[in-house]
Amino acid sequence: MITTEEGDLLAAASHLARLFPRPEEGETIPVQFIDIQEKLAGWSPELKRSVYVDDFKDTDGLKRVREVHLLRVYNWILDGESLIELSDMEKAQFEEVMDTFIKDGGEILFTRKRIGGRFVNYFILGDENRSRSCIKKHYLAEILDY
């Protein structure tokens, strides 16, 4: 049974535990890199959401078609996979954090920062030793069934 306090915490974190998480400025999500792909993204008026395709031929009926980098990560709050759409600038910043992570270890944290009136995706290398009492501990390979 979920108490009112636990229910409030779950509701407050529900925007972090999604396929496309949207943390507020100052909120962080611990993530584990899975892979990154270049895709074409466009808005589908029929589906009322963004659609990702591999070939330009598949963009008929889509609006605001653009090239994006689709980052696939393991979201430890969701306890499952999430996708993060990155611009070229955001991808470069992620690659810097990933290089440091490979050299020094730690924990990759995903957040968003307000720059010039817009939110941009931002990654931080955090200390792995901080408390993670609400996150289950298991190996990524076990989760992904490798």
**Segment 4-33, tens digit of pLDDT:** 444 444 555 678 888 888 898 889 999 999
Q: Which DSSP state fits 95? A: H
Q: Where are the alpha helices (DSSP H) in 68-119?
A: 88-104
Instruction: Assign 145 a pLDDT band (cuts: 50, 70, 90).
Output: low
Q: Taking the CA of residue 96 as centre, how many other CA atoms within 13 Å lie in the half-sphere pointing to its CB?
A: 8
Rounded Cα distance between 98 and 108, Å, is 8
71 close to 87: Cβ distance less than 8 angstroms: no
Is the CB of residue 29 less than 8 Å from the CB of residue 109? Answer: yes
Mean pLDDT of 112-117: 91
* Spacing of C-alpha 37 from chain mean position: 13
Polymer length in residues for the chain: 146
Per-residue pLDDT reduced to its tens digit, 45-93? 998 988 899 888 888 888 999 999 999 999 999 889 999 999 999 999 9
pLDDT at 108 over 70: yes
pLDDT, residue 73, reads: 95
Least Cα distance to 72 among 58, 54, 84, 56 occurs for: 84
Residue 144 pLDDT class (50, 70, 90 cuts): confident
The DSSP output letter for 44 is: E
